[in-house]
Chains A and B, each alone.
Chain A
């Protein structure tokens, strides 16, 4: 009986703290990936919409990030980086992959946003003497953003949930931390439930907020 008692110990408040820290790390890598990825993705989205060449050149490349499982991308990149002389830890590799993944998805959302603004509306702006970029900044951006905001929130929340996969590279975010605790305490359901609650608490209010905003804007 003795060996079992030394291997497994109960779930303590320290462990809750451990999970909390890991949740912050989930949040941290997610926020970085979402912000950089959205910025780059918006540029890609513009490139997709602005010309046929842009579309045919860029779309297949972006599709790679959307057609290969994230876990494969992570493992691949993590093993590829040393081959080109990049020394990356789990966080670095995971972050880069997440940024590229986010940007590919945001690109299509952004393109949708740009195309949501009717040609007629843009002609009205140009006929007032606005330059192409003024039209983009004062007309397309605000209208397009409102049109695709829910979709963008969906992508952002998806990235936050997918950040759990960076755990396979060893990055100790929330899910990895849960696994470590489960191995030690054997309180599988409890820990998974707590981890689930963390994710839920991050994701659900935001998606609710986004749909409320969408309703309000549609007046």
Chain B
């Protein structure tokens, strides 16, 4: 079984890669969605709301199936990697958008007034005053979402994606040593999550020194 370990660890890197990518994309899209929901009205705002509420109120697995089998029914086929990436990004964007919206709402208007009365432009106000404060508020939820993304990537195993869980399934089904392989994988996930949390805490100490 230990011969399989390098393959498992390799697959774990794939897990991290897809999770990280989906987070980056999710943050960008989520930020956009939240700003649309705060500042705009009309069909665009409605679309953003639909995205967010669908992502948050249906199972991640269902969303993954949509991108995999759903699109497949239209003849659009993607590699398992891309399917998982799309599914995770869709989900992440929805949850993060809601986190950001709460974050923006938690910064008092008086901050904007103070900045503008000092002569800052809207852009300066946003980038130097508002966003740093929002970042502080949403930092912990964002860390949680990253952990979530890593854990959710395991669903890839159900659409044929050979990330950590998929790779484990591959070995386990070939050797019928299901318990042992999955136990090792569980430990690997636990360690990965702990490392993410530690890095996050260290990053927070450097970013939020005030």
Q: In the complex, is A directly touching B at CB under 8 Å?
A: yes
Task: Give the Cβ gap from A186 to chain B, nearest Cβ, in Å.
Answer: 7
User: Which B residue sits closest to A154, measured CB to CB?
Assistant: B56
B58 at the interface (CB under 8 A from A): yes
User: Which B residue sits closest to A187, measured CB to CB?
Assistant: B73
Q: Cα distance A164–B73 when bound, in Å?
A: 22
Task: Establish whether residues A72 and B165, one from each chain, have CB atoms under 8 Å apart when the complex forms.
Answer: yes
Q: Which residues of chain B are near A80, meaning CB under 8 Å? A: 179
Q: Which residues of chain A are near B165, meaning CB under 8 Å? A: 69, 71-72
Question: Is chain B's interface secondary structure helix, strand, loop, or mixed overall?
Answer: helix
Q: Cα distance A70–B104 when bound, in Å?
A: 32
Q: Cα distance A87–B40 when bound, in Å?
A: 56
A192 at the interface (CB under 8 A from B): yes
The size of the chain A interface, using a CB distance under 8 A, is: 37
Q: Which residues of chain B are near A203, meaning CB under 8 Å? A: 56-58
Closest 5 CB pairs of A and B: A69-B154, A67-B193, A188-B73, A203-B57, A164-B59
| Contacts A66-B193, A71-B154, A161-B58 supplied; 11 other A-B pairs, CB < 8 Å | A68-B190, A71-B158, A71-B165, A72-B182, A76-B183, A161-B60, A164-B62, A188-B70, A199-B57, A199-B62, A207-B56
Point out residues on A near B: beta carbons under 8 Å: 63-64, 66-73, 75-76, 79-80, 83, 157, 161-162, 164-165, 167-168, 175, 178-179, 182, 186, 188-189, 192, 195-196, 199-200, 203-204, 207
